[in-house]
Structures are given as structure tokens and as C-alpha cells.
Amino acid sequence: MCSFDVGNRNMFLYKKIAKPVLFLTHPDHAHAIISRVGQTLGKFYPARAALTASFVHEDSVLETDVFGIHFKNPVGLAGGFDKNARLTHIIPAIGFGFMEVGSVTRHAYNGNVRPWSVRLKKDQSLIINYGLKNEGVDIIYARLQKNKPSIPLIVNIAKTNNPAIKGMGTIEDYVYSYKKMEPLADIININISCPNTGDGVLLCEDMGLLKNFLDALQETYDASSYKKPIVFKLKPDITDAMLDEILSLVKKYPCVKGFIISNLSQNRGLLSHTSISTIEQYAGGISGKPIKDLSTSLIKKVYTLTKGTYPIIGVGGIFSAQDAYEKIRAGASLIELITGMIYEGPGIVKEIDKGLATLLKKDGFASVADAVGTGE
Ligand SMILES: Cc1cc2nc3c(=O)[nH]c(=O)nc-3n(C[C@H](O)[C@H](O)[C@H](O)COP(=O)(O)O)c2cc1C
């Protein structure tokens, strides 16, 4: 007779029962269904307790301190899954060590022309084109105030998707959201690299505007009690020249404490199993397996160029403990995911935690922190 441990059983049940049903619906609807179910379950203590018993894996080797914050494990939910802070009770119960809310913007945005997401099953990827759909910072702030998660919280802030907001307007837009959310967050993630807005040039591509923004951010940081760590989210398709420019600019601003690497990719050439007609039909950035190596090599580059002085949160194509471990050994202190969970189910978090603990011990590391940046 074959026997499953609980982690494997969770993944088996998702893959054999929940996923086939969910994957019959359009991914935009599947995400809405999952969010509604998660929000409802999250309200009830017995449901949270039952999920915690089944999905959470604890091991002291996974505990880590980054940015002066304690994390029970290094696996987090990346930005974009819980855009409106509706899942803050359920996410800790499925084993995540921290979570992002957002991207949150100054003004609400109803989303780009649909579809917002397309499954590329053969590539284990998604095309994402929400375009920073969210309810706006004031509403999300009010919800979050009543529903702070029990794990460290990163609030992901972006510029409102409205090309009429530009120049100094861009800076005011970001700073408004930063000031509003800072008191509730443990870490603020400034998303300077969303590929799906009507803005054309991203903030990470406009060094003049980025400098003005950093001036405003540092001034706010210095003049106020706002002292939470700020991290910048980079895109994976960055050129070496652009990366050098960003790093030499950022190092002049002590309020920036780290990086999240990386966002979605605009490089469709990474898709090797998807038809050209599908690739050409849909707008948006790609996630999942095809961007795994690209994001890992950018983590390594930034870790090396900055000599490990900036903590990095690694994200992009993590589907297994081995994928997470590669990112840690490339220089990530924490890791995040979304697409792996969509394809493998919520049990993936426990599987990664368990596998990571095994890999760390096998290689003689006493903690996650000991393994950061030790790769070839
Ligand atoms: C459904 C979905 C929505 C996303 N929305 C956002 C977002 O609003 N802001 C953001 O910074 N990144 C967003 N992302 C990008 C993810 O945070 C992450 O950087 C990227 O998907 C790579 O990780 P993955 O391969 O584990 O999904 C989104 C990704 C997905 C799959």
C-alpha cells in the first residue's frame, strides 16, 4: 500500500481534484474563486487551525532574520496574488513565512482590457496583464488596518496606471501611497518595473525621474518617523548598463535597503513550448518556469556587484525546494512565488520548506542565512 505524508497528500488532492476543476475555468475567474474561498475560510478560526495543522512546516533551520525582522521560514507570497489585502488571514495558515499585498496604487484601477492572465501550461507559465488592477490605497489601507497578517507584511506600491500622471505627478503618486502604507507594513516594496501599464517607459528606465523620486523618498524617510526598510523591485530583462546605473544611483540613498528580483519578463523568446499564435495574441509579462534562470542570474549579478550588502528577495519560476535553494545560493535571503502555487497547489509551500530544510542540513548549513550567496 502506498502512503503519503500530509504535504504530498495536499499536493496530490490539489492536482487530482481542485486543479482540474479550476483549470476548466478562465484563469481570471479561477483567481477570483480562489480569493473568495480563501477570504471566507480565513474568517473562521477552526478553518485556519485545520489548515495550519496540515500546511505549516516548522524547522529552526528555516528561521531567519532579514532587515532586522524575524521570519519563521523564508518562503513568501509574491506581489499580485493578494492585490487588495483580502487574504491576510489565510496566507499564514498555508505555511507562508511572509506575504506581499498589492501592487497598491494611489488611485483605483479596474484593470487592462481582458484577459488579465493566460495559462501557458506547456511552459508552466502565465501571461499577466492586470495592469496594476487594485482598489486604491485608501480602501486597501482601511482593510489592512483591520486585518494585519500574523506574518511579516510587505506592501507593494506602484504608480497608478494612468499615463496622464507623469513627471512630478508620478513622484507624488508614489509618495502618497508610501506615506499611507508605511505605518502598516514591515517592509515597503517599490515596484518600479511593472511591464503592463500604459506609461511606456518604466520608472526603472528613466534615470532622471528615478533620481527625483529617490530624492523625495529619502527626504520623506529622513524627515519623518517612517523608518521601515524600503526595497526596489527590478525587472529581469534589465541590461547590464541599466543595472549599473540603478545600483550606482540607489547606493546614494540609504533609505533603500534591498531588492526584490524579479518582476515578470517581457521576453517572449523564453517560451519554448507555446505556439507563436498564442504568444502573439496576448499582451502582458510572463511568469513561472521560463523566467527562473533569468531571475536567478540577476540575483547573482546584484549580489556580486553589491558584495552582498543589500538583502535580496528572490522570485521567479520557483516550483520546488531545489529552485528556492538555487536562488538562496545565488544571493537571495528570502524567496517568493505565485505561479508555482497556481500549478502545484498551496501544498507547494510546505514541500519547499521541508525540502529546503533537508538541502540546508545535507550541505552542512546551520541556517538559511549561512547558505546565502554560497553558490558557484
Ligand atoms: C497573477 C499575477 C499577478 C501579478 N501582479 C503583480 C503585481 O501587481 N505587482 C508586482 O509587483 N508583481 C506582480 N506579479 C509578478 C510576481 O510578483 C512575480 O514577480 C512574478 O510572477 C515571478 O514569480 P512567479 O514565477 O513565482 O510567479 C504578478 C504575477 C502573477 C502571476
Alpha-carbon radius of gyration of the chain: 19
Compute the distance from residue 225 Cα to the ligand 1 centre, in Å.
30
Helix 27-42 to helix 45-55 angle (10° resolution) is 110
Are 210 and 246 in contact by the 8 Å Cβ rule? The answer is yes
Q: What size, in residues, is the chain?
A: 376
For a ligand 1 pocket test, name from 260, 267, 287, 349 the mutation site with the most ligand atoms within 8 angstroms of its C-beta. Answer: 287
In a domain, residue 155? The reply is yes
Compute the distance from residue 103 Cα to the ligand 1 centre, in Å.
9
Looking at the chain, list the stretches that DSSP marks H as alpha helix, in order from N- to C-terminal side: 6-13, 19-22, 27-42, 45-55, 90-93, 137-146, 168-181, 207-223, 240-250, 276-281, 292-305, 321-330, 339-344, 348-362, 368-371
Please, which residues have CB within 8 angstroms of residue 52's CB and are 6 or more apart in sequence? 92, 93
Compute the distance from residue 283 Cα to the ligand 1 centre, in Å.
15
Model pLDDT for residues 288-304, shown as the tens digit of each residue? 999 999 999 999 999 99
In a domain, residue 1? The reply is no
Q: Count how many Cα atoms sit within 13 Å of the Cα of residue 97 in the half-sphere of its side chain.
A: 28
Give the total number of structural domains in the chain.
1
| DSSP 8-class letter at 17 | I
C-alpha cell at 254: 540609504
* Range(s) of the domain holding residue 148: 6-371
CA-to-CA distance for 145 and 296, rounded, in angstroms?
34
Return the percent helix, strand and coil in the chain, to nearest 5. 45, 15, 40
CA-to-CA distance for 355 and 376, rounded, in angstroms?
21
In a domain, residue 45? The reply is yes
Please tell me whether the overall predicted TM-score, pTM, comes out greater than 0.85 for this model: yes
From first to last of its 376 residues, the chain has per-residue pLDDT tens of: 444 566 677 777 777 777 787 887 889 988 999 999 999 999 999 999 999 999 999 999 999 999 999 999 999 999 999 999 999 999 999 999 999 999 999 999 999 999 999 999 999 999 999 989 999 999 999 999 999 999 999 999 999 999 999 999 999 999 999 999 999 999 999 998 777 787 777 787 888 899 999 999 999 999 988 899 999 999 999 999 999 999 999 999 999 999 999 999 999 999 998 878 888 889 999 999 999 999 999 999 999 999 999 999 999 999 999 999 999 999 999 999 999 999 999 999 999 999 999 999 999 999 999 999 999 8
In a domain, residue 214? The reply is yes
Nearest CA to ligand 1 atom 21: 287
**pLDDT value of position 322:** 98
Please, which residues have CB within 8 angstroms of residue 180's CB and are 6 or more apart in sequence? 137, 138, 141
For a ligand 1 pocket test, name from 29, 126, 231, 264 the mutation site with the most ligand atoms within 8 angstroms of its C-beta. Answer: 264
Atom of ligand 1 nearest to the CA of 102: 8
Provide the CATH number for the domain around residue 86.
3.20.20.70
In a domain, residue 376? The reply is no
Which of these, 218, 189, 193, lies nearest to 205 by C-alpha position? 193
In a domain, residue 242? The reply is yes
Which of these, 124, 123, 136, lies nearest to 162 by C-alpha position? 136
Compute the distance from residue 362 Cα to the ligand 1 centre, in Å.
31
In a domain, residue 123? The reply is yes
In a domain, residue 302? The reply is yes
Atom of ligand 1 nearest to the CA of 116: 1
How far, CA to CA in Å, does 9 sit from each of 4, 65, 311? 6, 31, 34
